[in-house]
Amino acid sequence: MHIALVLMISWGALVVIAGVLFMYRAWLQGSETDVVALDETFAREAAENEAIAAKVNKIQPAIRVMNWILAAATVIVIVYWIWDFFAQFK
């Protein structure tokens, strides 16, 4: 298999994984309410918001790592394509 095909498939898989993580975080954050619980009548809503925030904070490191991996993979793909472009003129 050609190296360009392997690079593009790998990069595409990383983009899909990052997209799924971003959509999951957005879905979690969409369930949050913007109400500030000032008294005990909103205790249930406050507990739900805290649970959602805990889930979001739990996946945040994975999203950060995936961003760095995706950035590195993007740089590798760009460098490969630039190298390949100049190698064609030799």
Which residue has better confidence, 34 or 84? 84
Residue 57: domain span: 3-32+46-87
Q: Is residue 60 part of a domain?
A: yes
Q: What is the reported pTM? A: 0.77
Q: In angstroms, how far is CA 7 from the centroid of its own chain? A: 19
**41 lies in some domain:** no
Across residues 11-27, what is the average pLDDT? 94
Residues of the chain with pLDDT > 90: what percent?
56
Domain-located, residue 13: yes
With CA atoms as reference, report the closest residue to 3 among 86, 90, 79. Answer: 79
- Model confidence at 30, pLDDT cuts 50, 70, 90, reads confident
- pLDDT in the model for residue 52: 83
Check residue 73 and give its pLDDT: 95
* 3-state SS class at 16: helix
Q: Is residue 39 part of a domain?
A: no
> Does residue 83 carry a pLDDT above 90?
yes
Domain total of the chain: 1
C-alpha to C-alpha distance for 22 and 25, rounded to whole angstroms: 5
